Amino acid sequence: MFSGIIADVGRIVEANNRDGGLRLIIATGTLDLSDVHLGDSIAVNGVCLTVVANDQMAFAVDVSRETLNCTAGLDVIGAPVNLEKALRLADRLGGHLVSGHVDGIAEVIEFTDLGESWKLVVQAPQALAKYIAVKGSICINGGSLTINQVNDREFSVNLIPHTLQITNLKNLRVGSRVNLEVDMIARYVERMMQAKKEQDGKEQGK
């Protein structure tokens, strides 16, 4: 589990073929890896991956072909990637609860400098539009953000200079593809409503 508060921007320095997927070597900048052990989880651009090697300056993860097919930004050598270590029970939850399971790939359709902040407009897959609400939370490339406006599949967030400085979101351009994870609470609410509807249908059919 993660909070969506980016701790560092790393860089993919190697991407080697392995069993149909890739083994990535990711160099870190300021991320402290002294407490990271084999088998621990690190979110890379919002994707929860398992550490398989660690030398304190870089770590390795294996990424399956399935994960590569449903995410963006994990197969480019030299690409900057947002990093966050898994939460501990005593950590502050500065963002929102993030699972690290990407729901879909979205496309940037606007990235505008407003002076004191930047406006980022993203087009989500149609299947995810129902989970996106004004003032709700969304995870873009692993970063927890607040939704300002929604128009069907499109939604906008504002990025303050600090967020741009400490994440790879500053590198986005129109047409960039980003990893999206919707608020898990919305998914649970949907499932509870669906279960109630199914139960009501069974009772009416008796």
Count of domains for the chain: 2
- Looking up residue 166, the CATH number of its domain turns out to be 2.40.30.20
The predicted structure's pLDDT at residue 17: 95
Q: Which residues pair with 85 in a beta bridge?
A: 42
115 with 180, same domain?
yes
pTM: 0.91
17 and 45 part of one domain = yes
**DSSP states of 23-66 as a string?**
EEEEE-SS---TT--TT-EEEETTEEEEEEEE-SSEEEEEE-HH
> Residue 206 has what pLDDT?
62
Enclosing domain of residue 19: 8-85
The mean pLDDT values, 10 residues at a time, for the chain of 206 residues are: 95 94 96 95 98 95 96 96 92 87 97 96 96 95 97 97 96 98 87 80 70
**Residue 3 lies inside a defined structural domain of this protein:** no
One-letter amino acid identity for 98? V
| 95, part of any domain | no
